[in-house]
């Protein structure tokens, strides 16, 4: 029987991370045992140059992570917050008008930052001697195994291991969530752009096939392979897609609801949600522009931003935190758990999603699956996923979103061609089944084509 080795290294090492890719990995791994296929599906991780079978993706509830892992998380958050404050100071007088003042501030900040960077380096060094956790066991590969890179593998340093596995007859398949660092580098951290570009060059040469999270991304990946390696190389590979599920898997009855969130909804005025990491491509500034128009016209509609603070968003965060409507008609929650997110989806008026570019748009599906209508930017992948059930607005004109909100509030009818009540989507179990089935079908088709070529 063929073995499908599903890689989940980053989520294994960071079990409490809960952004888009981590949610996908966690849910797919959680449903592998229920997948009906001719292959044995095995979750695996890379650790110190070896492959291991995953026995438990996350520690048992209540189990503490090693001290160095906990300390590393705390110190990284402190570092990010520290440099966020530094970037804000840079925009103030006299730094905003003097290169020498900015330089002096940076030198002082760098010296003061040693209080964080030195302990962080020490913790990272200590983690090198970390004993292999009991959540995994060694796994030897067999010729014919297929390694499916499900996780954000550009974070991992396993190129030599993967190349060794290929030399042993293991196939290599990559899940691609998007190509945003390549196609829209202006929205990404410079270090991610560089790392992702190196990784994609490597995966474009080493992978046997790609499975993407939408047909939009599938077509983009093939075009990028053609651009980098040529049409002939692209024809030797296969390209497929699958769709993501919609359940929030970390909804626990024991997790606490944020009191401020509950009070916001209890006040009664309609609340429009934005659910996403706060970063440039998510286009939160567009939302503020649109809702400021509404508030100037006397609208009682409120905007609630849910998501952790990401990168390149200092000016936006400062705009939100100093906004005259903050905690009146404008709200922000940066550390909401899944129970709180579920509560928000259940009580909101609509989801507003103004992204410039996406690989899929998981909050869109999460909202619509809960019968929450969606207003979204008119981009190809949203059309693919939302179809006529979504109300679309023009990214160049915030007034088009304001007009949709006004129409909804005044008529009570959501301004989409079809009702969200008629929309249906697959859950994570079906998404996992679709992923495995389409990978196996693509592999079978590729083997058949190879045999036909050999016989001709």
pLDDT digits (tens, 9 = 90+) for 12-34: 988 877 677 888 999 999 999 99
What span, in angstroms and rounded, lies between the C-alpha atoms of 427 and 449? Answer: 33
Instruction: Tally DSSP H helices, then E strands, for the chain.
Output: 18, 14
What span, in angstroms and rounded, lies between the C-alpha atoms of 239 and 442? Answer: 8
Report the length, in residues, of the chain.
456
pLDDT digits (tens, 9 = 90+) for 250-305: 666 567 899 999 999 999 899 999 999 999 999 999 999 999 999 999 999 999 99
Q: Where are the alpha helices (DSSP H) in 172-230?
A: 180-183, 190-206, 215-229
Is the pLDDT confidence value at 337 over 60?
A: yes
Is the pLDDT confidence value at 246 over 70?
A: yes
Quick count: other Cβ atoms within 10 Å of Cβ 417?
10
Beta-strand runs (E) in 253-329: 271-275, 302-306
Q: What is the pLDDT of residue 154?
A: 77
What span, in angstroms and rounded, lies between the C-alpha atoms of 21 and 28? Answer: 11
Verify cis geometry, omega within 30 degrees of 0, for the bond prior to 94: yes
Q: Which residues are CB-contacts of 236 (< 8 A; sequence separation ≥ 6)? A: none
With beta carbons less than 8 A apart as the criterion, state whether 8 and 152 touch.
no
What span, in angstroms and rounded, lies between the C-alpha atoms of 268 and 258? Answer: 17
Quick one: average pLDDT of 365-370? 94
For 410, half-sphere exposure in the C-beta direction (CA atoms, 13 angstrom radius) is 9
Question: Using CA of residue 93, residue 96, residue 100, residue 103, what is the dihedral sign?
Answer: positive
Q: What is the pLDDT of residue 128?
A: 63
Is the pLDDT confidence value at 134 over 70?
A: yes
pLDDT digits (tens, 9 = 90+) for 31-81: 999 999 989 999 999 988 889 999 999 887 656 667 777 787 788 778 867
Is the pLDDT confidence value at 158 over 70?
A: yes
Give residue 130's pLDDT band: very low, low, confident or very high (50, 70, 90): low
Q: Which tokens in the block code for residue 259?
A: 């009191």
Angle between helices 259-266 and 338-347 (to 10 degrees): 0
Q: What is the pLDDT of residue 256?
A: 83
Q: What is the pLDDT of residue 435?
A: 97
Q: What is the pLDDT of residue 124?
A: 74
For 88, half-sphere exposure in the C-beta direction (CA atoms, 13 angstrom radius) is 15
With beta carbons less than 8 A apart as the criterion, state whether 340 and 258 touch.
yes
Place of tokens 């042993």: 168
More confident residue, 336 or 73: 336
Give residue 190's pLDDT band: very low, low, confident or very high (50, 70, 90): confident
What's the DSSP call for residue 159?
Answer: H
């Amino acid at each position: 029987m063929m073995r499908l080795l599903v890689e989940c290294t980053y989520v294994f090492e960071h079990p409490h991370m809960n952004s888009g890719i981590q949610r996908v990995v966690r849910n797919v791994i959680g449903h592998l045992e229920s997948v009906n296929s001719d292959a044995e599906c095995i979750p695996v991780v890379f650790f110190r140059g070896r492959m291991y079978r995953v026995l438990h993706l996350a520690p048992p509830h209540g189990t503490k992570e090693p001290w160095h892992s906990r300390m590393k998380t705390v110190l990284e958050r402190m570092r990010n917050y520290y440099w966020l404050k530094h970037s804000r100071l840079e925009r103030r007088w006299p730094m905003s008008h003097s290169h020498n003042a900015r330089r002096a501030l940076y030198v002082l900040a760098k010296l003061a930052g040693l209080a964080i960077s030195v302990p962080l380096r020490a913790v990272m060094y200590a983690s090198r001697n970390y004993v292999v956790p009991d959540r995994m066991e060694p796994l030897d590969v067999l010729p014919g195994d297929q390694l499916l890179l499900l996780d954000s593998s550009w974070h991992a340093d396993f190129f030599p291991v993967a190349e060794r596995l290929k030399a042993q007859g293991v196939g290599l398949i990559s899940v691609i969530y998007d190509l945003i660092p390549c196609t829209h580098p202006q929205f990404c951290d410079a270090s991610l752009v560089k790392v992702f570009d190196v990784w994609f060059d490597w995966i474009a040469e080493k992978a046997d096939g790609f499975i993407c999270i939408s047909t939009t991304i599938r077509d983009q990946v093939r075009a990028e392979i053609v651009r980098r390696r040529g049409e002939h190389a692209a024809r030797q590979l296969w390209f497929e897609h699958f769709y993501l599920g919609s359940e929030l898997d970390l909804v626990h009855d024991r997790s606490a609801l944020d009191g401020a969130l509950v009070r916001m909804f209890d006040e009664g005025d309609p609340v429009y949600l934005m659910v996403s990491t706060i970063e440039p491509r998510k286009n939160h500034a567009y939302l503020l522009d649109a809702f400021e128009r509404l508030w100037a016209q006397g609208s009682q509609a409120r905007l609630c931003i849910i998501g952790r603070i990401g990168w390149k968003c200092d000016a936006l965060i400062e705009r939100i935190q100093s906004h005259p409507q903050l905690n009146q008609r404008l709200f922000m929650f940066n550390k909401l758990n899944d129970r709180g997110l579920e509560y928000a989806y259940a009580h909101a008026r609509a989801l507003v999603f103004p992204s410039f570019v996406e690989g899929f748009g998981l909050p869109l599906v999460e909202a619509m699956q809960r019968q929450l209508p969606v207003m979204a930017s008119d981009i190809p992948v949203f059309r693919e996923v939302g179809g006529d059930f979504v109300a679309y607005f023009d990214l160049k004109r915030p007034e088009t979103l304001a007009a949709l909100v006004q129409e909804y509030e005044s008529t009570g009818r959501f301004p989409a061609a079809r009702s969200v009540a008629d929309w249906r989507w697959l859950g994570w179990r079906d998404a996992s089944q679709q992923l495995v089935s389409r990978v196996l079908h693509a592999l079978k088709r590729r083997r058949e084509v190879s045999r036909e070529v050999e016989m001709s």
